[in-house]
């Protein structure tokens, strides 16, 4: 993808992601300059469960399948940012991300967020707050799954 086409695609998708909610265009422009493009063919792993925290990604084209212990959690499509929790938490990857189709990603280098803290604290604060909100929503979803599991166990269905 040409650099202009890549930038146009990122500008189109990035503001629609929850991670960049409320971020001003001038801040998006400077953030976009730190991104690069990477492609994977269907079946290739982007990162693996238990792997070291690395870069994060904005999915530009195609679908990515996320799995835990080899079991599919869900698929994500264009406009989704993924892989960000591990570098923020300095934790091993909790899922495996695999290209379900041929994909194109915008790579968000893990150092970008660390550098933002010093270079653009306002943008850093917005991104961290948005990620905290995303993680809180994920925790709420996990609570519902745990409650379903407890009910199944109490009813003798496990």
- Write the pLDDT tens digit of every residue in 78-91: 988 888 877 777 78
CATH number at residue 76: 2.60.120.10
Mean pLDDT of the chain: 86
Q: What is the pLDDT of residue 53?
A: 83
Q: What is the pLDDT of residue 54?
A: 86
Q: Give pLDDT tens digits for 106-120.
A: 998 888 888 888 989
Confirm if 10 and 107 have CB atoms less than 8 A apart. no
Confirm if 11 and 28 have CB atoms less than 8 A apart. yes
- β-pair partners for 100: none
Indicate the number of domains in the chain: 1
- Considering Cα of 115, then 14, then 7, then 89, what sign does the dihedral take? positive
State whether residue 104 is helix, strand or coil.
Answer: strand
Q: Give pLDDT tens digits for 40-72.
A: 999 999 999 998 888 899 999 999 999 988 888
pLDDT tier at 30 (50, 70, 90 boundaries)?
A: confident
What domain range includes position 55?
3-154
For residue 150, pLDDT beyond 80: yes
């Amino acid at each position: 993808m040409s650099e202009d086409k890549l930038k146009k695609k990122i500008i189109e998708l990035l503001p629609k992601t929850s991670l960049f909610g409320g971020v001003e265009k001038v801040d998006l422009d400077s953030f976009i300059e730190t991104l690069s493009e990477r492609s994977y063919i269907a079946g290739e792993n982007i990162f693996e469960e238990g792997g070291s925290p690395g870069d994060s990604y904005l999915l530009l084209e195609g679908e990515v399948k996320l799995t835990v212990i080899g079991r599919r959690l869900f698929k994500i499509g264009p406009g989704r940012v993924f892989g960000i929790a591990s570098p923020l938490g300095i934790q091993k990857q909790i899922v495996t991300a695999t290209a379900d189709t041929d994909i194109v990603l915008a790579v968000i280098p893990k150092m970008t967020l660390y550098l933002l803290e010093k270079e653009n604290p306002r943008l850093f604060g917005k991104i961290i707050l948005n990620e905290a909100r995303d993680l809180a929503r994920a925790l709420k979803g996990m609570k519902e799954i745990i409650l379903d599991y407890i009910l199944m166990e109490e009813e003798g269905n496990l």
